[in-house]
Each structure stands twice: as C-alpha cells, then as structure tokens.
Amino acid sequence: MRITVFGATGGTGHHLVRQALAVGHHVTAVVRDPARLRHEEHPLLEPLIADVMDPDAIGAAVAGRDAVVSALGPRARGDATVCADGARSIITAMRAAGPRRLVVVTASGHVVDAGDGPLTRTVVKPLLRRYLREPFADFTRTDQIVRDSGLDWTIMRPPRLTNGSSRPYRTAIDRNVRGGNTIARCDLAHAILAALDDPATAGHTIALGY
C-alpha cells in the first residue's frame, strides 16, 4: 500500500511510519524539517517537504496514494486550530488529486457517549472540557470536517496518549471504550494500520484504550 502520513515526525507519526515500513508499505512522510525524520535511509520511505496548510503544496504528496493519514497535533499552546485546518487542507488536496481513503486522529476526550461510564460522563469529561477547551474545540471541528468530506474516512479516537510499550488494547466502533483511559502511541499506530487494512471501518469512528 502507498500511504501518505502527515504529522510523521510527531509521537504517533514516528511509530506509524516505522510500523508501516516494517510491513512493506511505501510511505510518503510530509514534513517541514526532514532532519526530524528518523527513518531517512529506508528504501520505502519518501520524505516530502511541504506546508500541510497549503493544499496546492501537498497535492503531489497525496496523488496516486492508496491512503492518507493525518496524525497532526498541536506542538504549542498557540496551535489551537492545527487539526481542523490541517484536515481541511488535506481533504481539499485529496479531492483535487483523487485518492479517497483518509484516516484522521482526533481524541475521545471531547466526546461523551454510551461507551462512557457514569463517573466519566458526569465528572471527568466536564472537567477535561473546562481545562482543555481549545484542543477539544479543535477536535470537534476536525470531526465535522472529516465527516463532511465525502471521502472514505475513519476517525481514530484515542484517550490520553503515553510513550509506553505495546500491549493488548481494546477498540470500539462509533462509541468510546469503557474505562479505556490511556493508550500508548505505538498501539495507536498499530490500530491506524489495522483500520487502513479494513474497508469496513470507512465511515466510522474507532475508539481505543486499555
């Protein structure tokens, strides 16, 4: 599979690129600083320097690809719209270039649904919304932009991300994972690749956690 990864130098993106290369996928990693990419010498890796916020600049990165993944996330407090703005730009480029398969990472914290327990619904998430208002608003906008894209989308909804080691995790379709409060970035990357290989996940959200 030919995959384009946005956010390839981030915590999740690093694991995603590594795992995708390990199973034989051709990966185009869109970066601003290629020095931060830790897989430069791999024969299946194609670094491409471009601004994700410019649809024209990333057109070549998505043209002819089988799937596109956005693992974008804020690097600083001022990046309050990076996920939504990035998703909008990527979708614009994909519509122009032709590929349809899109996987986007947001989060589970801004969503309250039947998968959450009573304490999470009534105490934990209201507190999180208070302290994480801007990133949660960005995730909410991103979700809507992706849903409205007309593409074959999947939204990944992880809980709090850690740098832990891989271990068995749970997933749920179109609802949160009860009690799934954390997930390692390496396991989120594994779940993204699994979603790419499963066309039945298109048009759905996938929550995950331990």
pLDDT per position as a tens digit, 13-31:
999 999 999 999 999 999 9
- Look up residue 29 and give its amino acid: A
CA separation for the pair 105, 116 (Å, rounded): 19
Q: Catalogue all structural domains in the chain, each as residue range(s) with its CATH number.
A: 2-209 (3.40.50.720)
Calculate what percentage of the chain has a pLDDT beyond 90.
Answer: 87
The mean pLDDT of 47-65, rounded to a whole number, is 96
CA separation for the pair 87, 92 (Å, rounded): 8
pLDDT at 37: 77
Q: Which two tokens stand for residue 182?
A: 């954390």
Task: Please name which of 5, 2, 1, 36 lies closest in space to residue 188, comparing C-alpha atoms.
Answer: 5
Q: Are the CB atoms for 17 and 3 separated by under 8 Å?
A: no
pLDDT per position as a tens digit, 110-162:
999 999 999 999 999 989 888 899 999 999 999 999 999 999 999 999 999 99
pLDDT at 58: 98
